[in-house]
Structure 1
C-alpha cells in the first residue's frame, strides 16, 4: 500500500507516543485546522491524557520533546490544551517531491491487495431516450470506476439496461396494432430475419409513452401487453427477434450519448441476462425455506428485530407468476457471482431507491448468496433547477440528455469566444475543445459536491473560467503545458532536483503531497468530491506560485531547474486527478 504523507507523519509521531509509554495509534496526524499556525496537527495527547488521567499539555510536551530532533520537522510546538502543531523542513518536502516526480501514480494512494469489483451504474431503459435523470449515475459511476482501478482493483462496469419485463410487452403489443403485417407477429415465425431493423429510435420514443398511456387507460390493452410479455419471456421466436431489435436500436443511441460524456462500460448486460438464472435462484431460496406465499405472491421476509422502521418483504414472484425488479436484481447478483466472483458489488443509483436495495441486499445475505457488508448502495441526491426542484425544461418536461449535451456544447463555444480562446484554430479542434470544456463543466459541477447531496444546475456558473469550475481547471492545466512548452522553446534547460526557496513553493509542495490523502479519502468514502477539492486547491497553489516565482527566465540555474520540475509535477498530477474525475484536457485553448 502506498503511504500518504499523513500516514508517514503519523508513523513518526506514533513512535514518539510509544517511546513516552502511550498508544502509538494516538499519534495520528492530520491537516491543521489552523494552517496559519502550522500545516499539520496531532490531537492525540488529549485522548491519551483522558485514558491515563494526566495533564494533556504535559503529555503533549513530552511527545513534542521526542520529535524536535527528527529531520522531518522544522518546528514542533504545543498549543492550547495539548495540540501538537507540526511544520515540515523544506529539505524533507523536497525529498518527497523528487520521489513524487518519478511516481507513475503522481503520488496517489494505492491498495496493498486488489479486489474484483462490479460497479452497476447507468441503468437506462430500452426504447426510452436518456434524460438528465441518468446524468448523475453515469458521472459518479464513471469516476468511481476510474478511482477503484487507480487504487489497484479489477473493476467490471455494468450499464444494467432495463430491457425486460412489461415495458417490452407494451411495445410489442402497440407495434402489433400499428403494423400487424410484420412477420414477427406470425406465431409460426422462425426467420428469415430482416437485415435492417424494422423500427427506428424515433419509433420507439413515440411508441413507448403511447403504449404506457393506453395500458393505464384501458384494462384490455393492459392485458394484451401482459400476454405479450409472457410470450416474450417464454421464448416466442418472433417476439424475441423484435425485442432484440429494440435493444440494438436503443443501445446504439445510448452508447453514442454516453461516449459524448466520456462514460464507458465493460458489460452491456440487462435484466434479460439475469432471466435464465431466476429458476436456479428460486430453487435455492425454496430449498432453504426462505420463501412463503402471501396473498398469492411468493415473498422473502427481510425485516429484522430491532428495525427502526418497517422493511417490507421482497416479492420474488407476483400472484400471476411474473417477476419484479427485486427478483431480477437478486438473479443478477447470482449471474455476477458465476461470471467473476466479485469481492464487492457497488450500485450507483438514486438515493430514493434505498429501500429497494436494502430489501435486495438483506435477501441476498439471508440466502447466503452474497454478504451484506459487501453490497453497497452508493445513493446520490438530485440535480435541481434554481427553484430547488428536480431539473426540468422550461415547459416542465424532462430534458433529454442529448439536448443537454448540445446545450452545453453551444454554451462552451460562446464562452471560448468571449474569452478569446481557440481563436484561429481549425473547426474540428474548436469542436473538440468545446466538447471537453462543456463536459468538464458538467462533471465538475456534479462531482464537486458530496455525492449524497442535491445541487442546483446553473450552466452560466458552471461554465465560468474563473472560480471553482471545470473550465478553470482545464485552463490551469493548459497554462502549465504552455509554460513548459515555452520554457523548452527558449532553451531554459531540463527539469532538475527540487529545492524550496520561496513560501509559494512550500505551499505548492504541500498541495502536491496531499494527493495521496485525497485519493484515499475519495476511495474509502466513495466520494469523488475529495478529488475535486484537491484539484482546485492544487490549481490555486500553482497560480500563486506562477505569479510570485520566475520559472523559465529565473537567473539561478538550479532554481530554474527545480521550478520546471515543480511545474511538470503539478501538470501531471492535475491531469491525473482530472482523469480520475472522467475529465479530458485539451492540448491547448
Structure 2
C-alpha cells in the first residue's frame, strides 16, 4: 500500500520517461497552493534547461499521459510549466478506507531491517538531572520510538557518566566534609581480606544516613571549582579516580553508594517523562575492557607517548578545523572520558553488533565525538560511518539564555517537571476542563498535559536549533502546543463515546466536502512525515504532522456535522474521525506523549 504522493510520483516519473526525459524529474510534492491543487511537479522547468525545449511544451506531453490516470480529477499546467494535480474524490475515499483498515494507519516499514543503538540521556552518577538533560531524553526517546516503529531492531542505552574524574573529586570532597566517611574508607582500604556481604550491608546503611544525593549535588560544584584552582586538590582527585578504577575496596563501595542514591532520582525523573531504556549501562561497565583495549591499540601502533600520557592522533589531511588527539591514558595512569567512550564502542560491537549507533548529545560535544569516532574507525572497532552524533541546541529561557532558576542556578529537572505540572493544573481549571474528574484522575490528566507541554515544546523544533521555553505559552490549550493536541484527541474520544451511546457505528468513508478532502490528504501524509523523521533523525516532522492533523480535524469538525448527519454520511464521518484519532495518538506516542481519556 503506497501513499498518494509516492504513487503519483511513480506515475509522473513514468510519464517523463515516456517522453524521453529522466524519470527522476517526476518528483511530486504537496502543492504550494492547496486552493489550486493537491500536488504539483516542477520537473518540466528543470527538463527545459537540459533539453532546450519550452517547459510548457514538456508539461503538456506529461499532462496528456496523466490525463488517463483515474486517481486524478484535474491535471493542468500553470505558469511557466508547473504541473498541478487534483486527486479525485473517489481516489481519496479509497485511500481513506485503506488507512482506516491498516493497523499501521498508512505507515510503511523499512525495506531492510537494521540493528540500531540509540545512546541518549547521559546523566551523571552523584548529580541530579537538570534541564540540560531534558532535550537528550526527549529527542532520544522519540528517535528510538520512530526507528522501532519503522521496523528496525532498536536498543536504547542511558549511558551513565559514572567512572571519571568527577568521581575522584566527589570521593575526596565527601571524605573532607565527613570524618566518619574518611575513617570508614581508611578502614576498608586497609583490609587484607575481601569485604563480606554483611560488612557491605552495614557500611551501606551507615552511608545512607550520612551521604545523600543533595549532599553530592552541593559538594560537586565546590569540588570542581577547587580542582580547577588548586593543583594539589586536582592531583588528589586524579589519584582517587585511579584508585577507584583499580577497585580499591572503600572507594569502590562509596562509589556504589553514590550510584544507588542517584538511581532513585533518575528512575523517578525518567518515569515522569515517559522515557525508558533497554540498557542502563555506564562508563564503569567497560572498565574491564580498557586494559586489553589499550594493549590492542598499542599493538596496532596507534598509541603515541605525549608528556607522560598516551594519545591517538586522529587529525586528517584536509581537515577544516584542528581536532585534538584522543587522550587514552592520562599521565597518572587513569582512563579518561574518551577512553571509556572508545571502550563502549568496542563493547557495543561485541554485545549487540549494531549497524548504526546514534549518539543523541548536545551539539557542543560534536568535536569530542568526531575524535572518538575517528579513533574507533582507525582501530577497526566500528565500520566507517556507522557512528553518528545527533546534536541538538540548547533550551533557553525567555531571556534567550540557557534556562536557569530565578536565582541564576541550573534548574533541576524534577523541579521543572513539578513546575509544569502545577501550571497544567492551573490551565485545566482556567479552561473549565476536568471538573468532573476525581482528584486522582485530575492529577493524572494534569501530568499528561504537563508532559505534552514539555515534549511538544521541544520536539516541534528541528533538534539542531536552540529554542525559548515559555511555560505560559507552551501550556496553553490554544496554538501550536502539546495541550492543544491532547484537547483535540479528547474531543474525538468524547464524540466516539457519544456515538457509541447512541448506537452509531463507523462505516465506509466517502469523501466529498472540502474539509473531508483536506483531512484525508493529511492522513495520507503520515508516511512521508515518518520517512523524513527517520532519514533526517528529526522528530519535528512527526510533531508537525500531528499539529497539522489536529488542525485539519478541527476544521472538519466545524464544517461537517457528524452525529446529526443522515445515516450513511454519519457513519462515514464517524469512521474518518476514528481514523484521525488513531493516527493522531500514534503520532503522539512516537513523540512519547499520551492523551488522557477525558478532560
TM-score range relative to shorter protein: over 0.9
1:182 equivalent in structure 2:
184
Are positions 1:45 and 2:44 aligned together? Answer: yes
Distance of 1:257 and 1:209 partners within structure 2: 22
For 1:212 and 1:10, how far apart are their aligned partners in 2?
58
More moved, 282-291 vs 543-552: 282-291
Residue 548 (structure 1) shift = 0.9
Match of 2:278 among 252, 266, 285: 266
Task: Say if 2:420 is the partner of 1:387.
Answer: no
1:21 and 1:219 mapped to 2: Cα distance? 74
Aligned residue in 1 for 2:342: 330
Picking from 545, 552, 577, the partner of 1:534 is 545
* 2:69 alignment counterpart: 70
Partner of 1:229: 241
CA distance in structure 1 between the aligned counterparts of 2:291 and 2:5, rounded to whole angstroms: 51
Match for residue 488 of structure 2?
476
Counterpart Cα distance in 2 of 1:295 and 1:508: 66
SS at structure 1 position matched to 2:562: coil
Aligned partner of 1:170 in structure 2 is 169
Residue pairs, 1:187-266, within 5 angstroms? 187-188=190-191, 190-191=195-196, 192-194=199-201, 196-197=204-205, 198=207, 199-266=211-278
1:123 matched residue in structure 2: 122
Shift of 1:53: 2.4
* Mapped contact 1:169–1:225 kept (Cα < 8 A): yes
Shift of 1:200: 2.6
**In 1, distance between residues paired with 2:230 and 2:321?**
37
Q: Deviations over 1:488-525 (max 9, x none)?
A: 11222x21111012111011110111101111111111
Report the Cα offset of residue 367 of structure 1.
2.0
SS in 2 for 1:541: helix
Change beyond 3 A, Cα 1:304–1:222: closer
Cα 1:370–1:186 shift into 2, 3 Å: closer
User: Residue 304 of structure 2: SS of its match in structure 1?
Assistant: strand
Q: Which residue of 1 aligns with 2:450?
A: 438
CA, structure 1 residues 435+88, in 2 after alignment: closer, same or farther (shift >3 Å)?
Answer: same
Q: Distance in 1 between matches of 2:408 and 2:572?
A: 56
TM-score of the superposition, structure 2-length normalised?
A: 0.95
Q: Which moved more, 1:572-581 or 1:424-433?
A: 424-433
Name the structure 1 match of 2:98.
Answer: 99
| Other structure's SS at 2:104 match | coil
- Residues 109 and 517, structure 1, Cα contact 8 Å, conserved in 2: no
Cα distance in 2 between the residues matched to 1:37 and 1:371: 49
Shift of residue 220, structure 1, vs aligned partner: 3.5
| Counterparts in 2 of 1:5 and 1:248: CA distance versus 1, 3 Å | farther
Q: In structure 1, how many angstroms separate the alpha carbons of the residues matched to 2:75 and 2:571?
A: 31
* Residue aligning to 2:144: 145
Is structure 2 residue 46 aligned with structure 1 residue 54? no
**TM-aligned CA deviation for residue 218 of structure 1:** 4.0
Equivalences for 1:533-552 in 2 at 5 Å?
A: 533-552=544-563
- Give yes or no for contact 1:383–1:390 (8 Å, CA) kept in 2: yes
Query: Out of 560, 567, 574, which is 2:570 matched to?
Result: 560
- For residues 459-474 of structure 1, what are the structure 2 equivalents within 5 Å? 459-474=471-486
Which residue is equivalent to 1:502?
513
1:103-147 deviations in whole A, cap 9, x for unaligned? 111112320111111101101111111111111000100100100
For the aligned residue pairs, the C-alpha RMSD in angstroms reads 1.5
For residue 515 of structure 2, give the secondary structure of its aligned residue in structure 1.
Answer: helix
Aligned to 2:372: 360
Q: Which residue of 2 aligns with 1:306?
A: 318
Aligned to 1:523: 534
Q: How many residues are aligned here?
A: 586
Distance in 2 (alpha carbons) for counterparts of 1:509 and 1:426: 37
Identify which range, 496-505 or 290-299, moves more after superposition: 290-299
Distance 1:537 1:224 in 2: 57
Secondary structure of residue in 1 paired with 2:94: helix
Gapped regions of structure 2 (runs ≥ 5):
none
Contact 2:189 2:248 in 1 (8 A): no
Q: Displacement, 1:5?
A: 2.8
Q: Is the CA contact 1:4–1:516 (under 8 Å) kept in the aligned structure 2?
A: yes
Give the Å deviation of 1:319. Answer: 2.2
Q: How far off its partner does 1:467 sit?
A: 0.7
The one of 301, 316, 326 aligned to 1:289 = 301
Rounded to whole Å, the distance in 2 between the matches of 1:83 and 1:288 is 59
* Residue range with higher mean Cα deviation, 240-249 or 58-67: 240-249
Mapped to 1, the partners of 2:537 and 2:229 lie a distance apart of 43
Q: What TM-score, normalized by structure 1, do the two folds share?
A: 0.97
| Structure 1 position 403 matched with structure 2 position 415 | yes
Post-superposition Cα deviations, 1:4-41, rounded to whole Å, max 9, x if no partner, equal: 33211111111212222222222111111222221111
Structure 1's unaligned 5+ residue stretches are none
Instruction: Provide the C-alpha distance between the structure 1 equivalents of 2:320 and 2:236, rounded to a whole number of angstroms.
Output: 42
Counterpart position of 2:4: 5
Determine if contact 2:184/2:250 at 8 Å carries over to the other structure.
no
1:584 correspondence with 2:594: yes
Shift of 1:364: 1.4
CA distance in 2 between counterparts of 1:507 and 1:101 reads: 16
Instruction: Tell me by how many angstroms 1:161 deviates.
Output: 0.5
CA shift at 1:217, angstroms? 4.5
Q: Is the 8 A contact 2:241 2:334 kept in 1?
A: no
Q: CA deviation at 1:296?
A: 2.6
The answer for the alignment partner of 1:448 in structure 2 is 460
